[in-house]
Amino acid sequence: MMKFKYMVLSAFLMLVSTGAQAADALLKPFVLASKSAGTVAEKSAQVKTALLGGGFTVVGEYAPYAGADIIIVTNDELKKNAAASESGGYGAVQRVSITEAGKEVQVSYTNPVYMANVYRMNGDLSNVAAHLSSALGKVEEFGSAKGMTAKQARKYHYMMGMEYFDEPSALAEYGSYEEAAQAVDAKLANNKNGVSKVYRVDVPGKKESVFGVAMKGSGENKYMDDKFIMDEIDSQALKSTAHLPYEVLVSGNKVYALYARFRIAINFPDLSMMGSHSFMSIMKSPETIRLALQKTVQK
């Protein structure tokens, strides 16, 4: 009898320990699916086939610079979770990158569980993570040396005085959701101010749409340029190309974007404040991005 009680107690303690470890699992922004010889074009074609076979829908594709391609996908679970979450449109997609790095091509994707937590979503998207892993593979998570717990990710900001998830930039206001979504779509199609549309996903059952945007700029506007920013901060061996593209969210009759000091930091949480390849090198980017987006979508 005592032996039985001991076995039950041991099993209970193991279950509690396993649950605690899962709750405290350290999350990182990206997942490396594979790295091997080949070309970006070949790998992109293979990735799209694998994603479609895994139940994902490709909603956009973006080549921000030579040697890089980004495929943006969604599925029913992503959209359902977005509908159940406040400002959930940011998490309605996942991004898959194919990047030349030396003599190899890296295939990586945004970590759905990490993104679900930094975007404070209702569900943790672990099933989406499993489907991406099954379709593309999983070698390791990367983008942060230490990683964050889910609790830390949900409260994340880069440092004191910098924006949280619930402190986005309000870019424009229209008379209705329908007017706002139609206007933003049209303005992005006109490609003014160097901002253009990569994708649009409407959140089902909710007056909310997320738009992915490409940003090109030169001169003083170079600080908004996708290639300029990535040249400055994406300096590690494993490439964080799936940071792109940026998002604009239409929620109700208003248009928002996550402020860049948050949006960039969630994908580069280890970036130093000073020195080479630091936030200091893109110090003008957050406000340059905000102004470009505002000029593009304003009424």
> What CATH number should be reported for the domain holding residue 181?
3.30.310.70
The pLDDT score that the predictor gives to residue 16 is: 42
pLDDT along the chain (299 residues), means of 10: 42 43 77 98 98 98 98 98 98 98 97 98 98 98 97 95 96 98 97 94 98 96 97 97 98 98 97 82 96 96
Query: What are the structure tokens assigned to 175, written together?
Result: 């008379």
Q: Is residue 12 part of a domain?
A: no
The pLDDT score that the predictor gives to residue 191 is: 85
The residues facing 249 across adjacent strands are: 210, 256
99 near 105, Cβ under 8 Å?
Answer: yes
Q: Is residue 50 part of a domain?
A: yes
Q: State the DSSP H helix or E strand holding residue 117, giving kind and residue range, or none if neither.
A: helix 112-118
Q: Is residue 286 part of a domain?
A: yes
- Quote the number of domains for the chain: 1
Query: What are the structure tokens assigned to 199, written together?
Result: 């994708």
Query: What are the structure tokens assigned to 151, written together?
Result: 């609790």
Q: Is residue 16 part of a domain?
A: no
The pLDDT score that the predictor gives to residue 24 is: 65
Q: Is residue 185 part of a domain?
A: yes
Residue 180: count of CB within 10 angstroms of its CB: 23
The pLDDT score that the predictor gives to residue 65 is: 98
Q: What separation in angstroms does the CA of 85 have from each of 27, 65, 69, 107, 238?
A: 20, 33, 29, 29, 31
Residue 98: Cβ-neighbour burial (10 angstroms; 0-12, 13-18, 19+) = buried
Q: Is residue 20 part of a domain?
A: no
Q: Find the Cα–Cα–Cα–Cα dihedral 220, 224, 230, 231, rounded to 10°.
A: -10
Q: Is residue 174 part of a domain?
A: yes
Give the structural domain span for 84: 26-297
The pLDDT score that the predictor gives to residue 229 is: 98
User: How much is the pTM?
Assistant: 0.91
The pLDDT score that the predictor gives to residue 1 is: 46
Q: Is residue 179 part of a domain?
A: yes
